[in-house]
Amino acid sequence: MATAYGGYMGKVLKVNLTTQQAEEYPFSDRDRELYIGGKMMAAKILSDHLRGNEKAFSDNNLLVITTGPLTGTGAPSSSRFNISTLSPLTGYVTSSNCGGNFGYYLKKAGLDGLILCGHSETPVWLELCNGQAVFHSADGLWGQKTEQTQAMLDDALRLPNGRVRKNGKICIGPAGEHQVLYSCVVSNERVAGRGGAGAVMGWMKLKAVCASGTQTVQVKEPERMITHNQKWFRYLRKHPLTGSQLPQLGTAGLVSAMQMKGILSTKNYSAGQYADFEQISGERLAEQYHIVNKGCLSCPIRCARTVEIDGKQVKGPELETLVLLGSGICNSNLEAILRWNYELDQLGMDTISCANTIAYAMEANEKGLWNNGLQFSNIEELSQLFEQIAHRQGIGDELAEGSKRLSEKYGGKDFAIHAKGMELAAYEPRKAVGLGLGYAVSNRGGCHLNGGYLVILEGLGLSINPTTYHGKADLTMMFQDLMEMISATGQCLFTSYAFFPSPLMTHPNSWYTRLANGVLPYSGPVVRLINKYPQIAHLHLPVFHHTKAFEYATGMKMPFGKYIRCGERGYNLERQINIRFGADASKDGLPKRLTATLQNAADPQSKVPLEKLKRVYYHARGWNRNGLPKKRLLKKLKIGVDDHD
Ligand code: SF4
C-alpha cells in the first residue's frame, strides 16, 4: 500500500509462523496521520486485533515490530524500532523502543513494520529482504546466546565474495526460548528490554529476524531536512545533557545525583541512599573501566559505554543495571556488575526485572517468608543464578516468573516492587513523587520512561519540589504524551533531554533556574489549556527540533500542540487496550513500601501520595474516577469508543 507521505516505506508485512505465509497488512495514510509510527502504529494494530480475552502465549497474540517516519532519515538518534505485544509479565500491552540498526535495515528491506503471529513447530529464523520474507531452520541457533546467534546469522548472510551482506537483526537468548517472563529481544548490543517480548518470540519458536535490502527512505523536503538535521546535531552536541553528561558518563552519570537527592533505590527500595554509592558511580566507571563510547546509527549523543570483560570489549551497564544490581542488592562490586550486565544480555534477560526479582527474593528470605538461600550483599553465585533463571532450572524456574507472582505465592506484597506486574526502574520514588505517579499509571507497568520520567524535573535536571503533589499530575501527562510521540516517530527518548534550555542546566542556582523550579509546580492550568486547545501551541519551539523534522520528512503539518495531541492519542489508545484486559484505577498501584511507609521517619512527605496524585491525573487526562477515558475524550482523539462508561 503506497503512501503519499515521506518518511514511510508504505508497507507493513504480516507473517504467520504457523502457515509460514506472508501478506501485506493494510495501513492507510489516514492511519499514518493518526497513529504516526512506532509504538502508536503498533497500538493501532494491536487495538484492531485484541479483544481482551487473549493470552500472551497464544496464537491470538501478535508481536508487532515497527519503525517511525524519522527512522533512517538521518535525523539525530533516529535508528530506533519498537516492539509491542501483549506482555506475559503484565498481561497488558508492552512496548520497547530499541536502538542499534535494526530499524534502519527494516526500512532498507522496504518495510515500516512487521507483524508476527502464530507459532512454528520447530525453531526458525526469518529473513526479510526487499519486502519478501523467507523462513530458515534455526536448529543450529536454538540454545545459543545472543552474541553467538548474531555471529552465526552473519555467517548465514555471507556473500560469495566472503563479505557479510549488510543487515540488521534481532534475536532472543536462552531466556526467551524458555519463556522467562522478562526475556528481552537483543539487537547488536542494544536491548528491547521490558515486558517479555523475548518470551513471546520464544513461544513462537522464532529465534531471530534479519532485515536487509536496497530500499531508501524518501523524505518530502530533502534539502530543508538536511539543513535542519545539521542544526539539530549541533544543538544536541552543545547541550549540557546530550553533549556532555551523556557522552562523558552515559546514563550511569546519574548515580551520584540520585544519591544526593535520596532516590537511589537501595536494598530493594527500602532506602534512597547507599553508603558505597561511589563504588558503582558513573564517574568510577568512566575512570577505571570505560574504554570508548559507542552509539546507535545517526546518533550524536553516543551514550553507550564500552568496557572489557575477559579481554573482550563489550557494552557497559546502563544506570538501571548499575543501581539495581548494585545498591539494590547491597553490592558495591562494580566489576561484578559489568560482568553480569554482559551475561544478562547474552542470556536475553531484562536486567531491571531480573535484579528486582532477586532483590525481592533476598528480602523474602531475610524475613523468613521463603527459604531460598539468597542474601543481600552475598553475590558469590549470581552468575550461576542467572543461568538457572534463563534455563528455568531449580530456583531459577520460580524467579523466572517475576516478583509479583512470587509475592502472591510466598507473601511480601508490600515489598514486591512492581506496578502492574512489571518491576520498577532504579529511581526510588518517595523522594520524587511525580515519578511515583508515572510508575503507577504507566501503560506498560513500572517504567520510568512510559511513566513520563518526571524525575528529570524533580532533581536530575531541574529541582522542583520533589515531594509536593502540585503540578505533578499535569506535567506527568504532558511528558508522557511528548515521549509517546518522540518514540512513535522513531527517535531516541534521550533527544528530549535537550528540551530544557541549556542555561537552566548550567546555572542551577541562577535566578531564572530558581524561578523555573518555583513556577513549574503551578503550571498545571497552562498544561491543561494546551491539552484542551492544542491550537494555542500552533508553533515550533526553538528548543524542540522534533516537530520541524517531522514536517520536512513526512510533509504532514505538525506544530507543537498537534504533536502533543498525537502523543495523547497514542497514550489513550494503549490505555483503551489495557482496559479490555482489566486495567482500571485499582491496577494503577504501587507497593505499600512506597505509598504507606516513610522513607525518612522525620519527613512526613517522604512517601508517594498516590491516591491524591491519581485523582488529579485522571481529571487532567479526562478519565473518570475509575481511570477509564471518557467517551468525549475518545471522540476528541478519534479513538474507537469501547463500551465502558
Ligand atoms: S542516545 Fe544512546 S541509546 Fe539513544 S540513540 Fe544515541 S546511542 Fe542510542
- In DSSP terms, 137 is beta-bridged to 124
Q: Which atom of ligand 1 is nearest to the CA of 294?
A: 7
How far is ligand 1, taken at its centre, from the CA of residue 299, in Å?
A: 6
Using CA positions, which residue lies closest to atom 8 of ligand 1? 296
What 3 state SS string does 525-537 have?
A: HHHHHHHHCHHHH
How many structural domains is the chain composed of? 3
| Ligand 1 and 492: CB distance under 6 A | yes
pLDDT in tens, 518-546: 999 999 999 999 888 988 899 999 889 99
Question: Ligand 1 pocket: which of 296, 297, 318, 489 to mutate (most atoms <8 Å of CB)?
Answer: 296
Has residue 609 got a pLDDT over 50?
yes
Q: Please return the burial class of 2, using the count of CB atoms within 10 Å of its CB with bins 0-12, 13-18 and 19+.
A: exposed
Using CA positions, which residue lies closest to atom 5 of ligand 1? 77
Is residue 5 included in any domain, yes or no?
Answer: no
Has residue 269 got a pLDDT over 80?
yes
pLDDT in tens, 89-99: 999 999 999 99
Q: How are beta strands 312-315 and 418-419 bridged, if at all? A: unpaired
Same domain, 63 and 207: yes
Report pLDDT for 85.
98
| Ligand 1 and 42: CB distance under 6 A | no
Cell numbers placing 607? 512517601
Same domain, 158 and 294: no
Average the pLDDT over 238-248 and give the result. Answer: 91
Same domain, 185 and 283: no
Is residue 645 included in any domain, yes or no?
Answer: no
| Ligand 1 and 419: CB distance under 6 A | no
Report pLDDT for 642.
55
Looking at residue 385, which CATH number applies to its domain?
1.10.569.10
How far is ligand 1, taken at its centre, from the CA of residue 495, in Å?
A: 9
Same domain, 553 and 632: yes
Rounded CA separation 348/173 (Å): 5
Report pLDDT for 243.
93
Report pLDDT for 645.
45
Has residue 1 got a pLDDT over 70?
no
In the sheet with 292-294, reading across from the earlier edge strand, the strands are 292-294, 304-309, 312-315
How far is ligand 1, taken at its centre, from the CA of residue 297, in Å?
A: 8
Same domain, 189 and 207: yes
Report pLDDT for 412.
98
Cell numbers placing 316? 557497559
Last residue of a domain, one of 393, 423, 453: 423
Closest CA to 99 of 42, 28, 168, 146: 168
Long-range pairs, 585-589, Cβ under 8 A, ≥24: 585/614, 585/618, 585/625, 585/626, 585/627, 587/420, 587/627, 588/419, 588/420, 588/440, 588/441, 588/614, 588/627, 589/419, 589/440
Rounded CA separation 579/145 (Å): 36
Rounded CA separation 228/232 (Å): 6
Q: Which residue has the higher pLDDT, 214 or 642?
A: 214
| Ligand 1 and 340: CB distance under 6 A | no
Has residue 283 got a pLDDT over 90?
yes
Rounded CA separation 638/645 (Å): 17
Rounded CA separation 6/73 (Å): 10
Has residue 408 got a pLDDT over 80?
yes
How far is ligand 1, taken at its centre, from the CA of residue 314, in Å?
A: 16
Are 192 and 201 within 8 A, CB to CB? no
How far is ligand 1, taken at its centre, from the CA of residue 303, in Å?
A: 6
- Residue 212, SS3? strand
Dihedral (Cα; 145, 147, 151, 156), 10-degree rounding? 50
What angle do helix axes 351-366 and 334-347 make, rounded to 10 degrees?
A: 120
Q: Which atom of ligand 1 is nearest to the CA of 242?
A: 1
| Ligand 1 and 98: CB distance under 6 A | no
**Neighbouring C-alpha atoms within 13 Å toward the C-beta of 98:** 31
For residue 334, give Cα distances in angstroms to 289, 290, 633: 9, 12, 48
**Percentage with pLDDT > 90 across the chain:** 91
Is residue 219 included in any domain, yes or no?
Answer: no
Same domain, 328 and 197: no
Is residue 228 included in any domain, yes or no?
Answer: no
Is residue 241 included in any domain, yes or no?
Answer: no
Cell numbers placing 328? 539494590
Same domain, 57 and 196: yes
Average pLDDT, the chain: 95
Are 9 and 532 within 8 A, CB to CB? no
The label of the residue with cell 527474593 reads: 361
Q: Which atom of ligand 1 is nearest to the CA of 491?
A: 5
Rounded CA separation 15/19 (Å): 9
In the sheet with 113-117, reading across from the earlier edge strand, the strands are 21-25, 12-16, 113-117, 63-66, 81-86, 93-98
| Ligand 1 and 296: CB distance under 6 A | yes
Are 482 and 571 within 8 A, CB to CB? no
All residues at 6 or more sequence positions from 143 whose CB lies less than 8 Å from its CB, including other chains: 174, 177
pLDDT in tens, 106-150: 999 999 999 999 999 999 999 999 989 999 999 999 999 999 999
Average the pLDDT over 465-487 and give the result. Answer: 96
Is residue 325 included in any domain, yes or no?
Answer: yes
Q: Which atom of ligand 1 is nearest to the CA of 493?
A: 4
| Ligand 1 and 494: CB distance under 6 A | yes
The label of the residue with cell 522513531 reads: 490
Has residue 42 got a pLDDT over 50?
yes
How far is ligand 1, taken at its centre, from the CA of residue 283, in Å?
A: 19
Using CA positions, which residue lies closest to atom 2 of ligand 1? 303
pLDDT in tens, 394-406: 999 999 999 999 9
Q: Which atom of ligand 1 is nearest to the CA of 246?
A: 1
| Ligand 1 and 101: CB distance under 6 A | no
Q: Which domain holds residue 545?
A: 432-636
Same domain, 63 and 200: yes
Last residue of a domain, one of 423, 457, 480: 423
pLDDT in tens, 435-469: 999 999 999 999 999 999 999 999 998 999 999 99
Report pLDDT for 641.
59
Is residue 377 included in any domain, yes or no?
Answer: yes
Are 389 and 175 within 8 A, CB to CB? yes
What DSSP string runs through 196-252?
-HHHHHHHTTEEEEEEE-S--PPPS-HHHHHHHHHHHHHHHHHSIIIIIIHHHH-GG
Report pLDDT for 643.
45
Are 259 and 268 within 8 A, CB to CB? no
Using CA positions, which residue lies closest to atom 4 of ligand 1? 492
| Ligand 1 and 192: CB distance under 6 A | no
| Ligand 1 and 99: CB distance under 6 A | yes
pLDDT in tens, 619-629: 999 999 999 99
Are 329 and 362 within 8 A, CB to CB? yes
pLDDT in tens, 208-237: 999 999 999 999 999 999 999 999 999 999
DSSP state of 541: -
Rounded CA separation 472/198 (Å): 34
Rounded CA separation 2/27 (Å): 9
Q: How are beta strands 113-117 and 12-16 bridged, if at all? A: parallel
Last residue of a domain, one of 423, 455, 477: 423
Rounded CA separation 95/106 (Å): 18
Same domain, 75 and 170: yes
| Ligand 1 and 304: CB distance under 6 A | yes
Rounded CA separation 500/241 (Å): 9
Closest CA to 294 of 246, 225, 330, 339: 246
| Ligand 1 and 191: CB distance under 6 A | no
Same domain, 403 and 446: no
